[in-house]
A and B are shown apart, each in its own frame.
Chain A
Amino acid sequence: MTPREPQSPPPPALAASAFPGMTTGRWGLASLAVVLAAVLPLVVSSQYVLGVMITTLILLVLNISWNFVLGVAGVWNFGQLAIYALGGYGAGIIMLHSPVSPWLALLAGGLVAAVAAVLLSFPTLRLYGIYTSLLTFAFAEVIQYVILNDGSGLTGGSFGLPIVRGLYSSLGLNASARAYFWTALAVAVIATVLLAAVGHARLGIALRAIRDAPAYAAARGVSPLRYRIIAFAISGFLAGIAGGLYVSYDQSISPSVMGLTPMSVYVTMLVIGGLGTSTGPIIGTILVQIVATALVTHPGAEFTILGLFLLVVVVFVPDGLAGLVGRHWRRISAWAAEDEDDELAEGSPDPHVA
């Protein structure tokens, strides 16, 4: 999935830029994409399509947070949906029962999720690979069961929370949908930039080292404990924010957001896009969501096609679509660079284009 050849940039490049590989042109392209996305709700008139886009953005935030632990840190964490749900429930319950601003509730949900994620990170330190996946999945199942069988009325059991007054409940239907879209887009952009920056900085390099050569990393003084806790905290906080956005937009949350079925879709998104890359979750989430929406009238076919798609991508494109695009992009830019290497000589912005 993720390319395992040494890919961390040489130290000078690291010092020069927090985002190696990002040329001015690419920053421009990325900004253009964000601006185009931000204009979408003004162009799209269908409430249904807008709703699908908002859900996609919320899922994108979740997938970005998950990718950081699963792809960059390489910890088989299959409990991320429970952390996401805990953030959602935390935010939702505060929104329901407390007069504080829903924005504070959103933050509180993120903190609840971060605490849960840090607690989950401790047992995973002793485990490896598949054992981690079962432990984290068991954690998620226990959380789901506890919520499902909750008789106290706090979570509403299998029915979920009653109608929650979210971030924009004072606005009209159209205005609130647009507001949610822009909020979710802003969070997704911030999450992408933040995790890309962190992923190329000391933390990300340490996490990759622990992932690829645990003994060597520990011998060089990279503390798995410290870096994994930080990674889980950041990832958990973002997942919790995604959960808070979900409960606010959907006005409810129920235990059905967890479980094997939604998880298989999100894993498909991450793997198809490219685990451990910054653009992978974006490509995967949007692509799979488009396929799923197109097949919404054939629920069985959706999963069959996603499953076949997943199989083909893993077998033939091990580093996901982001890796595929990246390789071709590099070839094209290398080819372009041959023609204009005189112009590039003074800046030499990207040491990787070779």
Chain B
Amino acid sequence: MTPPTLIFAVGNESRGDDALAPLLLRRLDAWLKKEARSADFELIEDFQLQVEHAMDMAGRKMVLFIDAGMDTPIPYAFYRAQAGDARTPYSHALTPEAVLAVYPQIYQNAPPPAFILCIRGEQFELGSPLSPAADSHLDSAMDFMKQLLQETEAMAWEIQAQQQATGDTIKHEACRTQ
């Protein structure tokens, strides 16, 4: 059976704080096993998002994209992702919004509700370890995830996202408009 919730973690562990999402995914994996809830979640890690990731979303109740961000509010931002598209002239990577836009190309219907957890990173140099600040943001993000995953309905996640937006509109918009 397809686990109802899919969590993508996007990042390169050899690039400093770009490791935030893979590291959070590993913590989540351990926590879900401890809580005996692994069957309800599929965790996928990759360097970049690509078109075929849309196919991983089929049959899910909801999807979460976790990534590190450079100008993201401290310690993280959580918000609803909407389908959209932007080609990046000098990159092959897709945004979560672009992956959502690919979904109906394959399945002729709307993708499942999707959300983004963007964790603030500070430096992304090759070979660098996780920065102390990012390490702290990782702890905060893990605390948030434990709380978020208590909810198993997209509507509850939507409320969480709206609460973040209401609590700190400026921060939320800063992440959304990038």
Are A and B bound to each other?
Answer: no
Binding site for B on A (CB under 8 A): none
